Structures are given as structure tokens and as C-alpha cells.
Amino acid sequence: MRSGLVRRWLDLSHKDQHAGAKSGRGLNQLLGLAVRPLYRAYEGRLSREIRRYPVPQHIGIILDGNRRYAERRGVTDPREIYSFGAGRLDDVLDWCGELAVPAVTLWVFSTDNRDRPLEQVSGILAAVEAKVISLANHPDIHRRRVRVRTIGKLDLLPNSLRNAIRAAAEATAAYCGMVLTIAVAYGGRDEIVDAVRSLIGEQSDRGLTLAEAISEITGDGIARHLYTAGSPDPDLIIRTSGEVRLSGFLLWQSAYSEFYFCDVPWPAFRKIDFLRAVRSYQHRKRRFGR
């Protein structure tokens, strides 16, 4: 009973802290200081509980809620809006490292996002580029031996971002401590279409007849041509900011994933939110269609 009350208090306190009103910020800061010991105690309790059970081997995260988070703070500059969320990545890598999660995939920009106003698109891509550049030189990336890879329709990205992606991949290519995959200019339907096209192209190069080619269009054949070919399917997919849908994220790979949706926007995503998601995953019985 007490833990339930504490949990509700922490959630309410968190909502108050991120209400975004310019007035009352001093009160919110005092409230944050008051609940900090409770946060630490609750985090410790969750961590101890989680370590008793297997953790996901691959976690996918849909980073949603940057604009709503910024609006509550009166921030309108697109570059500043998306820089809020970029800083959260370091924390997520720390949390995954503590639990020895070997693979993380973050969806930062979809092909559909390209239809947003130009200033928003520029703000997102600028934040992504700055983060990718920092990853290539971040000491924790090299200490943890994190391999950085990127998936999506990369030819749609600005040259400067493609160069940053290439540099991060080359700087971490030999690492195998954790695989961090960044999905940018990514769409699940696009990925499946591109995989089928690639498979058919391969069959054409082999000189197969139409009948022979059709017989080789199998689930395994398509999977070999996905952007994520060779990577394990995600065990757990987390979406922030309260939206309850995948919006095209890893459509093929998520057939048997467990989903966790939380209300907090991505820039406000806390360690206890992450640990709750992992605990929820651990308490589910996975059947894989059987």
C-alpha cells in the first residue's frame, strides 16, 4: 500500500515539475529537491527487483513528445526544442549499460516527419547531427565499446549528417559491447518495400525465372534484406508521451515484441520510467504466437 502511494506521489510530483508554467518555478524546484530522496529509493527498489529476472536483449524506443515538452516551457526555437531530447540519450545508454542490455534502437526521425514545416525538420536534423558527432568522440561510447549504426533512407539526409553518420560508424565499427542503432529518415513500410525490391534485384542478378523468384520470396528471404538484417528483433518497444501506437516503427521486426507506453514526453523520461518498462516486460508471458 505504501509503495503504491509513493509511486502516485512521485508521478504527480513529476507532472508538477514539468507543467511548464513560468510562474511557480521556484516552488517546483523546491518540490524536486523534496522528492529526490524518494526517487532514489524507488529507483533502488526497482533496480533490485529487475535484476532477479532476465532483461530484454534488444530495446526499441520511439522518442516522442519533444514539441509538447518545449511548448510547456515556452520554447519555440526548433533547434532548442530538439536539443532537449538529444541529451536524454546519454542517460538511456547508462541505464542500458547498467542492466547489460546488448542492443538499443532509437527512432529519432521518420520519413513522414519530412512533411513537417522546414524549420522543424531543420531543427530535428541539426539536433541529430550534433548528437551523432558527439557519439563518435564520447569517451563513454569508447569505454563501453558501443557500436553506433544508423538505419533508414539515408540518401534523403543532408550531406553533413551523412558524413557524421559515416564517421560515427567508422569510429565504433570494431566494438561489440552494445549496439546502438539510430533510425533516421526511417519508416517501417519503406523498409519492407526496400527489402522486397532488394530481394527481387538479387534474384534477377542470379537469372531466376519469374516462377523461381516467386518461390524464393519467403519471410526469411525478406528478413535478410531488411535494414536491420543480422540484428535480433526487439523484445521490448517503449513509446513516450502517451501515444499508443507504433506509427510504423520496426513493423516487421516487432511481430512478437512487448509494448510499453508511458505518458511522459521523451525529454522528461526518467530512470524510473525506464525501469518500470523493463519490469513490465519481465512480468509478461511471451508466447511468440504459440
Are the C-beta atoms of 178 and 147 separated by less than 8 Å? yes
Per-residue pLDDT tens digits for 120-145: 999 999 999 999 999 999 999 999 99
The gap from C-alpha 228 to its chain's centroid, in whole angstroms, comes to 14
Q: For residues 76 and 260, what is the distance between their CA atoms, to the nearest angstrom?
A: 29
Task: State the average pLDDT for the chain.
Answer: 89
Answer whether 256's CB lies under 8 Å from 286's CB.
yes
Q: Which of 101, 60, 92 is nearest to 252 (CA)?
A: 60
3-class state of residue 104 by DSSP:
strand
Taken in order of first residue, the domains within the chain and their CATH numbers are 1-52 (no CATH), 55-282 (3.40.1180.10)
Whole-number Å distance between alpha carbons of 191 and 180: 18
Q: What torsion, rounded to 10 degrees, do the Cα atoms 169, 170, 175, 177 define?
A: -20
What's the pTM value of the predicted model, to 2 decimals? 0.88
Distance between first and last Cα of the chain: 36
Phi, then psi, of 135 in degrees rounded to 5: -65, -40
Helix/strand/coil percentages in the chain, nearest 5: 55, 10, 35
CB 134, CB 172: distance < 8 Å: no
Residue 220's pLDDT is what?
95
Catalytic residues: 64, 113
* DSSP label at residue 142: H
Q: What is the mean pLDDT of residues 1-6?
A: 52
Does the pLDDT of residue 7 top 90, yes or no?
no
Q: 155 in the Ramachandran plot: left (φ > 0), alpha (ψ -120 to 50) or beta?
A: alpha
pLDDT digits 0-9 by tens, 63-117: 999 989 998 889 988 888 888 888 899 999 999 999 999 999 999 999 999 999 9
- pLDDT at position 128 is 94
pLDDT digits (tens, 9 = 90+) for 10-42: 555 555 445 444 445 565 566 566 677 887 888
The angle that helices 25-50 and 2-17 make with each other, rounded to 10 degrees, is 140
C-alpha cell recorded at residue 271: 530512470
The helix/strand/coil state of 99 is: coil
Q: Nearest to residue 148, comparing CAs of 108, 188, 121, 207?
A: 108
CA 138 to chain centre: 19
Angle subtended by helix axes 25-50 and 271-282, to nearest 10:
30
List C-alpha distances in Å: 260 to 146, 166, 186, 208: 25, 32, 21, 44
CB count, 10 Å around CB of 21? 12
The pLDDT of residue 11: 58
